[in-house]
Structure 1
Amino acid sequence: MTTSPEDLFWRLAAELERNDPRITEGTIMNGRCLRVGKEFLALVDYKGSGLVVKLPRERVAELIETGVGKPFGPAGKIFKEWLSVPTPDRRRWLQLLREGIEFVGR
Structure 2
Amino acid sequence: MSDGSFTVLADALVAQGLATRGTMMGRPCLRANGAYFASGGHVGDALVVKLPEARVREEVAAGRGVPFAPGGTPFRQWLEITDPSAHRARELLFEALEFVAG
Scaled by the length of structure 1, the TM-score of the pair is: 0.83
Q: What percent identity do the matched residue pairs reach?
A: 39
CA distance in 2, matches of 1:87, 1:99: 15
CA distance in 1, matches of 2:100, 2:48: 14
Structure 1 residue ranges without an equivalent (≥5): none
**If each structure's helix is expressed as a fraction of its own residues, which one has the higher value?**
1
1:68 counterpart residue number: 64
Name the aligned partner's letter for residue 10 of structure 1. Answer: T
Name the aligned partner's letter for residue 33 of structure 2. Answer: G
Corresponding position: 1:96 with 2:92: yes
Deviation >3 Å, runs of 4+? none
Name the aligned partner's letter for residue 100 of structure 1. Answer: A
Asked whether the equivalents of residues 83 and 89 of structure 2 are also in contact (C-alpha less than 8 Å), the reply is: no
Q: 1:49-60 to 2 correspondence within 5 Å?
A: 50-60=46-56
Q: Deviations over 1:23-63 (max 9, x none)?
A: 100110112111112111111132x1721100011100110
Scaled by the length of structure 2, the TM-score of the pair is: 0.86
Structure 2 residue ranges without an equivalent (≥5): none
Of 24, 35, 40, 1:39 maps to 35
Name the aligned partner's letter for residue 51 of structure 1. Answer: L
Change in Cα spacing, 1:84 to 1:104, as seen in structure 2 (3 Å) is same
**Alpha-carbon RMSD:** 2.0
Q: In the comparison of the two structures, how many residue pairs are matched?
A: 101
